[in-house]
Amino acid sequence: MACQCYRAVLPVMILGGVDDPSSISATDLNGIQIQSLKDIIGEVSREELPEAAGKELIFASFPFMPPEQVEKLLASVRGANVPDET
């Protein structure tokens, strides 16, 4: 079965779009990568992972993601203390 890839819609939305739509293909994420990013953000929001560690994990896992975008993602959950979904 072929791998289904999803566009990195959330990061593009946070940045308010891109100047060059052809550059979006460089940031295509598959379902596992999207879930990984969601997991890191969720762990930070539940204070299971320090924000600084989450930020470094995102930078290491998604080196194409600009620092401003990572900061916006983490700022959106800062202090949220969202309960685990399990």
Nearest to 54 by CA among 68, 39, 66: 39
* Structural domain span for residue 39: 5-75
What's the domain count of the chain? Answer: 1
Per-residue pLDDT at 82 = 59
Asked if the structure places residue 10 within a domain, the reply is yes
Asked if the structure places residue 86 within a domain, the reply is no
Alpha helices in the chain (DSSP H): 9-15, 31-45, 51-61, 67-75
Per-residue confidence band for 13, with pLDDT thresholds at 50, 70 and 90: very low
Instruction: Give the residue with greater pLDDT, 7 vs 61.
Output: 61
Per-residue pLDDT at 19 = 53
- The pLDDT tens digits of the residues spanning 17-76 come to 445 545 555 567 788 888 999 999 999 999 999 999 999 999 999 888 899 999 999 998
Asked if the structure places residue 80 within a domain, the reply is no
- Asked if residue 80 lies in contact with residue 45, where contact means CB atoms within 8 angstroms, the answer is yes
- Asked if residue 77 lies in contact with residue 45, where contact means CB atoms within 8 angstroms, the answer is yes
Per-residue pLDDT at 5 = 36
SS3 9: helix
Per-residue pLDDT at 27 = 60
Asked if the structure places residue 67 within a domain, the reply is yes
